[in-house]
Amino acid sequence: MGGSKSSIPGIGAEAAGPHVLQVLPSMEMGGVERGTVQTAAALTAAGWRATVASSGGLMTHELDRARAQHVDLPLAVKRPFRMLRNSVALANLIRRQGIDLVHARSRAPAWSALSAARRTGKPFVTTFHNAYGHNWAKHYYNAVMAKGDRVIAISNFVSEHVRETYGISDDRLLTIHRGIDVNLFDPAKVSAERIIQVSRGWRLTDDHPVIMLPGRFTSWKGQSVLIKALQILGRQDVCCVLVGGDQGRGNYRAELEAHVHACGLGPVVRLADRCTDMAAAYM
């Protein structure tokens, strides 16, 4: 989830340091987007310049706060012709903005970014945010994330998956664990009013323990597993909140709702849209 603003300050995209371009499908809420904002803020705070290219979304305003530039490109599109056009647009952006390094965070944009980086002679870095499943066709598609001059994995599990699946040598593979902004999530800085506002929005009661699963509504996030576990346990004395929103995956949300009712958990499980105050939600 990416619903809480980072407390990392930015000092300005006009800084004279190296210029990093991050590329991802969109700036809707999620872990990839949150990491992009935090990286941009850290870059500008260090005196570097930061630009993000995506199809836009709710979190673009946080790039403004980080003093990073956002460039709108249809990078969520997976059609080959559109990806080719994106590679040309990115190459032009790299030359025009004086980009020094290209960092791709998702597969479809990575194909365009790889082409643009090679065309302009710029270093290319990728980040694996997940251990992708694959068949032979998906293996080829996913493999672009292993083509970085440096490849970042967000956990030891993902790092091992990448090493075993793509044969990346240790001199190219780096594990950088996802961090947490301890200032943002400091309980002493979360007011009772903020907690009450989230609680009311989710219709929580004081006499039921709360189980929260934050994450986009996609099958690999495990929402259906939690619903099944609650059915097996037969617990009606808890409140379970699935937080994340469907981000256009209306069919999967409908499947989850049907699963909840089929398991007799209608009074127990709530599907909540994205949360803009995750610090309060965790309290």
DSSP 154: S
Identify whether residues 96 and 162 lie together within a single domain: yes
- Domain that residue 264 falls in: 187-281
Identify whether residues 127 and 23 lie together within a single domain: yes
Residues in the chain: 283
CATH of the domain at 212: 3.40.50.2000
Using the predicted structure, report yes or no on whether residue 190 has a pLDDT greater than 50. yes
Total number of domains constituting the chain = 2
Using CA atoms, how far apart are residues 116 and 28, in angstroms rounded to an integer? 24
Identify whether residues 273 and 203 lie together within a single domain: yes
Identify whether residues 195 and 138 lie together within a single domain: no
Among 61, 66, 78, 67, smallest CA distance to 27 is for 61
Identify whether residues 126 and 56 lie together within a single domain: yes
What does each C-alpha distance from 248 to 35, 219, 277 come to in angstroms? 21, 14, 21
Identify whether residues 137 and 227 lie together within a single domain: no
| 238-261: pLDDT as tens digits | 999 999 877 666 688 899 999 999
| 57-85: pLDDT as tens digits | 888 999 999 999 999 999 999 899 999 99
What does each C-alpha distance from 201 to 241, 243, 271 come to in angstroms? 11, 12, 11
Report if pTM > 0.85.
no
pLDDT score, position 3: 54
What does each C-alpha distance from 183 to 120, 186, 189, 190, 264 come to in angstroms? 39, 5, 8, 10, 40
Using CA atoms, how far apart are residues 155 and 131, in angstroms rounded to an integer? 10
pLDDT score, position 125: 97
Using CA atoms, how far apart are residues 69 and 75, in angstroms rounded to an integer? 16
Among 92, 88, 99, 119, smallest CA distance to 51 is for 99
